[in-house]
Amino acid sequence: MVGDIISPGNLTKNLIRDLTKDVIKYLTEYNAMLRDYTGSELYAVEFELINFNEKAASTRIYPKSMMLVPGTYKECESLMLALKPETGYLNVHKSSQSINDISKLFFEVEEYANHPDLDTNETTHVYNLFAQRFSKKLYGELLEEKWNKKLIGLSESLPTDKEQLDTYSKLKSRIEINLHKKPLELNFTEIDFDKIKNPFEGKTALEHLKFSITEPSAGFVAEKTLKLGSNLLNLANFGTIDEFQDKLTFYILNKLKNIKLITQDNWEENKIISLVGKHIEGIKTQFEKLNASCQDFLTSGVKGNLDEILIKLKDFLEESLQNDDIDLKEIYQILKNFIKRIITEKANIRANFLESSFNYFSELIKRSFETILNNLPQYLLNIRLKNLIQRLALNLKQKFEKEEKPVRLLGNKFIDELKEYLLRTIKIYSLFPKNEIKFDKHIIQKNFSRLIINHLDDFFKNVNLGIKEIISFAEINLKEGLNQINSHISNFKKFSGEIHFLLSYILRYSTINRFLKDIPDKEISDPVSFSTKFHRFLEKRLAGINLEWKSLILDWIKDYAKLFFKLDMNRNWTLFEIYTDFINYLEEKEIKARDTDNFVSFLDTFISNIDDREEKHNLIRLYEQYKYFSGIKTEFPKYLRKKIEEEISTFNIEWETGYKFILISPDNNENSYYEYLKENELKYFSDLIPIPSSLILRHQFTHEELDLFKGDLFQVFTFKYWGEGNIAFNLSDNFKKVYREWIKEL
């Protein structure tokens, strides 16, 4: 496994290897999910890169698009992860072919490198050389726009163009963007499917079912694509770190770390800013002396190869700076590695040849000082606000300490969610403009309280109690006989989650599509024959799954057949009609089953089938308690909100000074200033959010299915981000264009 990265940052070979492994790991996991849920693998995916920092977007140049395109040849797999200045202009079929060609070339390299005269290190060296060469080839083709789509008016019909596709599913949702988490976390909320007219008719509609993606599976794939984009951008961001600016920033912070006044336990923000500024001036003076000595070296007339000149530079600096308080050993090592990276001509050079390197290094030092000073107020404010949120959460949890266990646990659950919500909110809505931060207790308290109150309505939209929570409340008064029904209570708490999982299991490609392909069409003539055969099929598949409520799903399938026992069976059903009706039936059953009010009826039916009198008696008591507490789903959020509002109204910001200002942490503590700078400043793409714009999947045919198609079957997800957290996508395919319908007639 080898790879190469072309980026503005300077990356070590070890880091390149680790990043390559991570990209391949993410792709492998993603493809495994796709095969299970869709019967496909990734052909190409493109993300639109949205900048949430409008000020930075107006002063810096950022990529607008990120693409992942895999390729393969026999056992050799390759991939390209690229960031581009625009979206939608790439002909992914051309780029895919280029990467397939690279895979073929690499396959030939592998055959050569397996030569018995080469040891493991030599083989790896050969692989790395060709990985670098091939990545430059792909980079060149991307820069030369060889993969771009043809201009409007020129003929070029691609199998994934809009004109070649039929849309058969639509989804809209909201996106929750967690900017405070690294890597960035994106989640769908409030997913809604739009029912649209089926674009397929007759036998084509029936055959399309066998290769289509169900709506729940499409939603799941879209969610996993959000996660893939976040992980890929996080990896790409590593490639933007300038290794030497990173080392210089660390060096300066390490010098500051040794100043006790800065890192003492009791501190105030304004004092910290003043002290850091004062001591940075001292460190600047040392670097100015270093720079002056470097400039003097340029006129020394020293000549030779690069290594010889660097040794003489070291001797020169040691002599000229011997009376100054400079950690020359460490800073010289950074300077030496920087020069060796910058200068390509190694032999017969003079000292003055290093001038441009010294000037560039001096600019890096200057930029490091500016980065440290300019970001310090915002960092200190973030630390202050994080501690305030933490203390607010602790205060709220203390209010629930004397409550019954279910109330306390539920309260703590939603308080933790409030904490995450507030951490996300302060990342989006700052209390102050970046250059107007004031560390004034009263102003911060006023702005902090206002921020929370203004967003409580939004937070409580997602505070919902389900069956599990109401069952927990119902337990409270069941002191006697509780042990006898503990297993039932545990299973009831799993009910909602297991039912949702089982429905997704049924509707994924590896289950429902496999059933449709395995059962001859002529064996299914009506809903009864369909449900009977599917029940047998699913019963075998569920046998190896250890879930308590799988029998309920099987009962639903039997109940579906019963709906048609007394109906007029002379109706001519198509398999498409049966399938559509059956899927709608299951989705409605799941929604009703997970409804807290409908669960009362389920409990009643469940208890009626219990034979043991004492067990039945205790379950009836649970049933009564459940009905009694069912109103808690509306009352508890009101109760929780009242507690929060009371705490906010009396919340007094104690100007805490009992926590440490961490400049550098040996365990990469995310709260240290160095990690903050690394994530928010040194990584160039930290302000970008990857939103999918296009996802193309290629179906993985079995050997028997190949003859049914005259080309690749593509499933295409087309996303549209509307801003303000709203997104929609269409799911289309080119089934009509590539399916040989006449073959089925033979």
Give the pLDDT confidence of 67-80 residue by residue, as tens digits: 999 988 787 888 88
Q: What is the pLDDT of residue 21?
A: 83
- Which is it for strands 726-733 and 688-699: parallel, antiparallel or unpaired? unpaired
- Does the structure show a pLDDT above 50 at 746? no
Lowest-pLDDT range of 122-131, 534-543, 639-648, 709-718:
122-131
The torsion of the CA quartet 129, 134, 135, 138, rounded to 10 degrees, works out to 170
Mean pLDDT over residues 154-176, rounded? 85
Average pLDDT over all residues of the chain = 87
Structure tokens at 718: 């087309």
Nearest to 495 by CA among 599, 589, 585: 599
Task: Round the CA-based radius of gyration of the chain to a whole number and report it.
Answer: 32
582-591 pLDDT tens trace = 999 999 999 9
SS3 311: helix
How many Cβ atoms from other residues are within 10 Å of residue 189's Cβ?
Answer: 11
User: Which CA distances in Å does 628 have to 171, 623, 638?
Assistant: 38, 9, 17
327-368 pLDDT tens trace = 788 899 999 999 998 888 778 888 888 999 999 999 999 999
Structure tokens at 700: 């993985």
459-518 pLDDT tens trace = 998 888 999 999 988 888 787 777 889 999 999 999 999 999 999 999 999 999 999 999
Would you list the domain boundaries of the chain?
Answer: 13-239+683-745, 243-373, 468-632
Structure tokens at 420: 């995450």
| % helix, strand, coil for the chain, step of 5 | 60, 10, 25
Structure tokens at 574: 């198509």
H-assigned helices in 39-62:
54-59
Q: What is the pLDDT of residue 743?
A: 54
Q: What are the CB-based long-range contacts (under 8 Å, 24+) for 407-412?
A: 407/473, 407/636, 409/472, 410/465, 410/469, 410/472, 410/473, 410/636, 411/640, 411/643
590-645 pLDDT tens trace = 999 999 999 999 999 999 999 999 999 999 999 999 999 888 888 999 999 999 99
- Which is it for strands 65-73 and 76-84: parallel, antiparallel or unpaired? antiparallel
